[in-house]
Amino acid sequence: MIKDLPENNVTDIAVAVALEGENAQSKIFHVYLINLKKEPIENVLITSKGYGEKDGEQVKTSTLRHMFPVVPNGSYKQIELIDEQTFGLSNEYWVSYYIGNQIYDKKFIFLPESIIDSNFIKLPVVNKPGVMIR
């Protein structure tokens, strides 16, 4: 049955963690979905969770779900605020969306310690410093 499903490759969609600002105590980060396509994506569903090992113990965060009716082409949507303390975990974002009547989905995973200043780029469309997975 699975072999009968079309292979819909996800391209020109990115998930990014952007630095929003900082103060003496901490930095503020948000996670964004970036649509780099030439067409809008619709019925976008994103689940997010963190998991891994911290201080020798297995840790899992809550699973959060986010829904956007439409993400226009060449634009972005803020998914959530992310706490710096979770950067030592794997942070997973599973994105599903439609173009027409075709469904697409892809899992984006920020590995532990990958969200660091030395990996920052200027994020397209969002125009903020951060880390992006395409």
DSSP string, 2-13: GGGS------SE
- Would you list the domain boundaries of the chain? 2-133
What pTM, to 2 d.p., does this model score? 0.92
The whole-number pLDDT of residue 22 equals 87
Q: Where are the beta strands (DSSP E) in the chain?
A: 13-22, 27-35, 41-54, 57-60, 64-71, 75-82, 90-99, 102-110, 121-122, 129-133
Q: Which residues of the chain have pLDDT under 50?
A: none
Strand-pairing partners, residue 30, are: 18, 81
CA atoms within 13 A on the CB side of 124: 14
Helix (H, G, I), strand (E, B) or coil at 63: coil
The whole-number pLDDT of residue 61 equals 95
In CATH terms, the fold of domain 2-133 is Immunoglobulin-like (2.60.40)
Tell me the pLDDT tens digit for each residue of 58-69. Answer: 999 999 999 999
